[in-house]
């Protein structure tokens, strides 16, 4: 089979993954759990999609004989790799099957599967607040967006905020390594303006965003950066120095989701082809060892320059302070 036809099958595979009723429901020995042996040596990456089809047969012939789907960032063990279209892998639950090579990354493994070494932030009255250089706190650039990250109690929450000129857009990722499931509820995530006014900026439902006649859903006029109040000796230590000397480095859990939108800060960015509701942050339980990520939109104040995004997860509230250059 040629490379071209392989890619045609891949496109169909993604369609069948979204429509499981069309895929074969037949159970096979390849789907049976087996005892894990070697440590994970690859990570699932999702360029432009949220889940990856995981099949029982090497050729991934149609109709697909699905073992299941793999989540972005999931660590797996490569059992057989003949440098072909697919590789045989084992999940952390011991399930064996095949996945397309293009969805496997090995360079991210040391960061992704050694999360236990990540320092933990200390909560105060149930709240963990981001502070540059503090234990469990990290910052980095993802698709040119400034990300703040907090790890506490085995849970890592990462956020970035952009001003679209119409709404504030928040990208949120939650990675759970707590040993228990945690509930993520976008409805209780809040964005507050702290200066020059003190007020709540209400969230806008993704369904309403999807039907708005504007194309500013993913435009970026300005990227929020850490607030001066959360950076010690702000004038003496530059942002580039902080990013080059990260004290509690964390994996980039937002990367595959931010990639769905343009990474460029241009005023007239048009992204009508993106399904807004498919990239919106969803409510649900996140099992230990998995992650969820998505986008939220909030009311915008053109005069705001100090913001606080609060993300309740488990029994903690993760508080992220940001600053924005005023845009009229």
pTM: 0.64
Could you identify the residue written with the tokens 């649900």? 284
pLDDT tens track for 36-47 = 456 667 878 765
Take residue 204 and report the two structure tokens written for it: 């806008």
Nearest alpha-carbon partner for 324 in 229, 239, 224: 224
Residue 306: the pLDDT is 97
| Cα torsion through 143, 145, 150, 154, rounded to 10 | -20
pLDDT in tens, 269-285: 444 456 788 889 999 99
- Between CA 7 and CA 15 the distance in angstroms is 13
Q: Between 247 and 251, where is the model more confident? A: 251
Residue 114: pLDDT band by 50, 70, 90 thresholds? very low
Q: How many CB atoms sit inside 10 A of residue 83's CB?
A: 6
Helix/strand/coil for 9: helix
Backbone φ/ψ region at 83: left (φ over 0), alpha (ψ -120 to 50), beta: left
Which structure tokens are listed for 317? Answer: 């509230």
Q: Considering only CA atoms, which of 261, 299, 265 is closest in space to residue 280?
A: 261
At residue 76, the pLDDT reads 86
Largest separation between any pair of C-alpha atoms in the chain: 63
Which CATH superfamily, name and number, covers 3-109?
Answer: SH3 Domains (2.30.30.40)
Angle, vertex CA 71, rays to CA 205 and CA 147, nearest 5: 60
Helix, strand, or coil (residue 16): helix
Q: What is the pLDDT of residue 266?
A: 39
Instruction: Round to whole Å and give the CA distance between 110 and 40.
Output: 10
Lowest mean pLDDT among 93-97, 109-113, 302-306: 109-113
Q: Which of 175, 190, 153 has its CA nearest to residue 307?
A: 190
Query: Do residues 70 and 83 make contact, with C-beta atoms less than 8 angstroms apart?
Result: no
Count of CB atoms situated within 10 Å of the CB of 263: 12
φ, ψ dihedrals at 187, nearest 5°: -65, -20
CA distances from 72 to 60, 149, 326 (A): 20, 18, 35
Cα–Cα distance, 185 to 297 (Å, whole number):
14
- Find out whether 168 and 297 touch, Cβ atoms under 8 Å: yes
- The end-to-end CA distance of the chain, in Å, is 57
Helices and strands, counts by H and E, the chain: 6, 22
- Tallying the residues shown for the chain, one arrives at 328
Q: What is the pLDDT of residue 72?
A: 67
The backbone torsions φ and ψ at residue 145, rounded to the nearest 5 degrees and listed phi first, read: -105, 140
Cβ atoms of 90 and 36 within 8 Å: the answer is: yes
All structural domains of the chain with their residue ranges: 3-109, 115-323
pLDDT tens, 285-318?
Answer: 999 888 999 999 999 999 999 999 999 999 999 9
Question: Tokens 């807004």 correspond to what residue?
Answer: 276
């Amino acid at each position: 089979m040629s490379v071209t036809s392989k890619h045609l099958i891949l496109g169909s595979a993604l369609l069948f993954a979204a429509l499981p009723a069309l895929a074969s429901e037949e159970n096979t020995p390849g789907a049976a759990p087996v005892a894990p042996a070697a440590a994970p040596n690859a990570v699932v990456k999702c360029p432009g999609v949220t889940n990856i089809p995981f099949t029982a047969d090497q050729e991934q012939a149609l109709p697909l004989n699905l073992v299941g789907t793999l989540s972005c960032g999931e660590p797996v063990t490569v059992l057989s790799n003949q440098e072909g279209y697919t590789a045989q892998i084992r999940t952390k639950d011991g399930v064996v099957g095949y996945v397309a090579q293009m969805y496997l990354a090995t360079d991210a493994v040391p960061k992704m599967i050694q999360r236990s070494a990540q320092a933990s932030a200390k909560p105060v009255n149930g709240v963990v607040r981001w502070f540059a250089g503090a234990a469990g706190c990290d910052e980095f650039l993802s698709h040119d967006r400034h990300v703040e990250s907090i790890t506490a109690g085995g849970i890592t929450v990462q956020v970035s905020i952009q001003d679209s000129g119409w709404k504030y857009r928040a990208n949120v990722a939650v990675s759970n390594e707590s040993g228990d499931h945690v509930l993520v509820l976008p409805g209780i995530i809040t964005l507050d303006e702290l200066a020059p006014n003190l007020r709540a900026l209400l969230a806008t439902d993704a369904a309403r965003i999807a039907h708005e006649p504007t194309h500013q859903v993913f435009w970026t006029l300005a990227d929020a950066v850490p607030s001066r109040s959360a950076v010690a000796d702000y004038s003496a230590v530059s942002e580039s120095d902080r990013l080059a000397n990260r004290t509690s480095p964390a994996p980039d859990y937002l990367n595959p989701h931010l990639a769905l939108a343009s990474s460029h800060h241009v005023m007239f960015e048009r992204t009508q082809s993106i399904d807004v509701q498919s990239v919106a942050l969803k409510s649900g339980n996140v099992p230990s060892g998995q992650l969820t990520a998505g986008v939220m939109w909030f009311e915008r104040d053109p005069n705001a320059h100090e913001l606080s995004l609060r993300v309740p997860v488990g029994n903690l509230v993760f508080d992220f302070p940001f600053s924005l250059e005023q845009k009229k």
